[in-house]
């Protein structure tokens, strides 16, 4: 599982009005205590990023351990 990794999925064989793709992420909902797949359109992603930039006090930075794990994943697993 790639929890917290935001992926961009390109629509294959899309109909005429469909967008070129969407963002997908698997997260763990700590309130409901379950995993959840989120599918986010490009316009929704823009709104999410704008909201985050307007509320920097609510943002969480990755810990040194998170960064180390991601460094190993990128350099040795290629993910």
Compute mean pLDDT per 10 residues along the chain, 79 residues long, and list them: 76 80 91 93 95 92 86 82
Tokens matching residue 59: 């943002």
Looking at residue 79, what is its pLDDT? 61
pTM: 0.69
What's the chain's Rg over C-alpha atoms?
15
Inter-residue contact 3 to 16 (CB < 8 Å): no
In a domain, 69, yes or no: yes
In a domain, 2, yes or no: no
How many domains does the structure of the chain reveal?
1
Looking at residue 1, what is its pLDDT? 40
Report pLDDT digits (tens) over 20-41: 899 999 988 889 999 999 999 9
Q: What DSSP character marks residue 62?
A: P
In a domain, 1, yes or no: no
């Amino acid at each position: 599982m790639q929890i917290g990794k935001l992926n961009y999925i390109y629509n294959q064989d899309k109909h005429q009005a469909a967008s070129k793709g969407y963002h997908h992420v698997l997260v763990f909902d700590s309130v409901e205590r379950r995993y959840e797949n989120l599918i986010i359109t490009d316009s929704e992603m823009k709104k999410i990023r704008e909201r985050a930039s307007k509320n920097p006090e609510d943002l969480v930075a990755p810990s040194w351990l998170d960064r180390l794990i991601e460094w190993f994943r990128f350099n040795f697993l290629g993910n």
